[in-house]
Structures are given as structure tokens and as C-alpha cells.
């Protein structure tokens, strides 16, 4: 997964996360001589009203941020649900891309929403018991975060993560992409999977998503949140041998 010295990594967060979640990895990528742009998607900055936000808004935001900066030789990287807006954006940005990397991420199937993909498993199973929730946005309770996102860390670390999370715009999870498979773009693809990931809804989901790309997953230690708990190993997987 080696990159040229001019690579720009555009880092897209998963549900409930923001640019902050990529800080440890981004620092290591910059130390290796690369440029990074970490994004916080609309509705997840704690300021913008999430009402009415749709998956298309997240896709448009990613495209606009890359075009506004006039970035080229971009490696797009997405965590978790971030695979949805990344895939949508990739179809509009392929001439600017050198690689697309899914990290513990969903690889969308045409016309299938994240809610349907997860089928009520993993963190998505907590929608009916969500707290800090409104009809427009929701956040899973602490116990679900502890069991499915960061089960390998002590309780104070789990709680700290939970307190950093922001309610996710509800419509993000029900939107789908009416697009061909990302494999049709002609851009190199990779899948990075944490060895103890439980955040993708079902056992073996990460390997299944990698198969959609036609690649073998690159394994890193940790859970769904290894970008925070094992940033060095994840950065090395992104940089290659």
C-alpha cells in the first residue's frame, strides 16, 4: 500500500465521530511526509442542526472539500459508516484519486442503506434505546459503545470515547447510493480490518466487505476504534511496508 511523497490522505470519520477521531493517525501520516485532511461531516460538529441532512449532503461535502482545496493524488480513507459518503464521493472524484481505502468500513451495495446492511445488528441495534437523541439525530447508549466499538479498553477510556461522540443525523443511515460498484472506477482499492472488530454488525462482516472489493483485508490489532487505540499500526497499514 505504498504511496508517493506527494500523497494527500483525506480521512473520513464514521458515524458519531468527527475529524478529532483521526488526530493520532493523521499525525503519524504527516510525520512520514504526507499531507492529511481530516473531515467532520455536516451535522456532527455540534453546531449545525441535523434536521433534514441526508446522505447526499455528506457526499456533497466530501466532494466540495476536495475540490475547494484542488487536491490531487488523494488517498481517500473512510472509517465505518463513512464508507457510504466516501463511495459516493469517489464516483465524482476518480480523476483526483490514487487509492480508496475502507477501514473497518461498510462497502455499500447499490440501493442498500446502512440500516438495511446492518439489519439491526451492532451499534445500529441501539436505535430504539438511543440517548441524547431527537427525531433528527441519535447516539447509542454507553453500554452498546462498550460492547461493540471499544471492548478491549478499560471503562474510563470507553466512557471518554462515548462522551466525545456526537448524535448522528438520522437520515444518514437510511440513505443509499444508486451507483455502480466502486470496483468499476479503476482506482486501486484496499480494505483494512481490525482483528477484534465488532462494529460492523455481524461476525465476518469485514471480510465480506473486503470480498466486495476483490481484495484480502489487511489486518491491524484492536477493535472498531483502533484508529484511537492502535494509531501507529493503522498508520503503517495505510503507508504500506
Q: Domain locations in the chain? A: 8-239
160 falls in which pLDDT band (50, 70, 90)?
very high
Q: What is the pLDDT of residues 195-218, one digit of tens each?
A: 999 999 888 999 999 999 999 999
- pLDDT at site 129: 47
| Higher per-residue pLDDT: 54 or 46 | 54
pLDDT exceeds 80 at position 134: no
- pLDDT at site 41: 98
SS3 of 190-201: the string is EEEEECCCCCCC
Percent of the chain with pLDDT over 70: 91
Do residues 165 and 141 make contact, with C-beta atoms less than 8 angstroms apart? Answer: no
178 falls in which pLDDT band (50, 70, 90)?
very high
- pLDDT at site 202: 86
- Residue 123's contacts (CB-CB under 8 Å, 6 or more residues apart) are 15, 140, 144, 145, 148, 149, 199
Mean pLDDT of the chain, nearest integer: 92
Q: What is the pLDDT of residues 85-133, one digit of tens each?
A: 999 999 999 999 999 999 999 999 999 999 898 875 555 544 444 444 5
| Higher per-residue pLDDT: 119 or 45 | 45
* Superfamily the domain 8-239 falls into: Alpha/Beta hydrolase fold, catalytic domain (3.40.50.1820)
| Higher per-residue pLDDT: 45 or 11 | 11
Q: What is the pLDDT of residues 189-199, one digit of tens each?
A: 999 999 999 99
- pLDDT at site 79: 99
pLDDT exceeds 70 at position 4: no
Do residues 174 and 82 make contact, with C-beta atoms less than 8 angstroms apart? Answer: no
- pLDDT at site 122: 53
Amino acid at each position: 500500500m505504498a504511496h508517493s511523497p506527494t500523497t494527500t490522505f483525506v480521512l473520513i470519520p464514521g458515524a458519531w465521530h468527527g475529524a478529532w477521531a483521526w488526530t493520532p493517525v493523521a499525525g503519524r501520516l504527516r510525520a512520514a511526509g504526507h499531507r492529511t485532511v481530516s473531515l467532520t461531516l455536516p451535522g456532527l460538529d455540534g453546531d449545525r442542526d441535523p434536521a433534514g441532512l441526508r446522505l447526499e449532503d455528506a457526499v456533497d461535502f466530501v466532494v466540495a472539500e476536495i475540490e475547494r482545496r484542488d487536491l490531487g493524488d488523494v488517498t481517500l480513507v473512510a472509517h465505518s459508516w463513512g464508507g457510504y459518503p466516501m463511495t459516493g464521493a469517489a464516483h465524482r472524484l476518480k480523476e483526483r484519486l490514487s487509492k480508496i481505502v475502507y477501514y473497518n468500513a461498510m462497502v455499500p451495495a447499490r440501493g442498500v442503506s446502512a440500516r438495511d446492511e446492518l439489519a439491526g445488528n451492532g451499534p445500529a441495534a441501539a436505535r430504539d434505546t438511543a440517548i441524547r437523541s431527537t427525531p433528527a439525530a441519535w447516539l447509542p447508549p454507553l453500554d452498546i459503545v462498550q460492547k461493540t466499538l471499544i471492548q478491549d479498553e478499560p471503562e474510563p477510556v470507553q466512557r471518554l470515547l462515548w462522551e466525545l461522540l456526537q448524535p448522528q443525523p438520522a437520515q444518514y443511515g437510511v440513505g443509499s447510493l444508486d451507483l455502480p460498484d466502486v470496483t468499476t472506477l479503476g482506482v486501486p482499492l484496499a480494505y483494512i480490518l481490525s482483528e477484534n472488530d465488532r462494529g460492523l454488525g455481524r461476525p465476518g462482516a469485514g471480510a465480506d466487505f473486503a470480498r466486495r472489493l476483490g481484495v484480502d483485508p489487511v489486518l491491524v490489532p484492536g477493535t472498531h476504534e483502533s484508529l484511537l487505540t492502535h494509531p501507529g499500526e493503522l498508520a503503517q497499514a495505510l503507508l504500506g511496508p
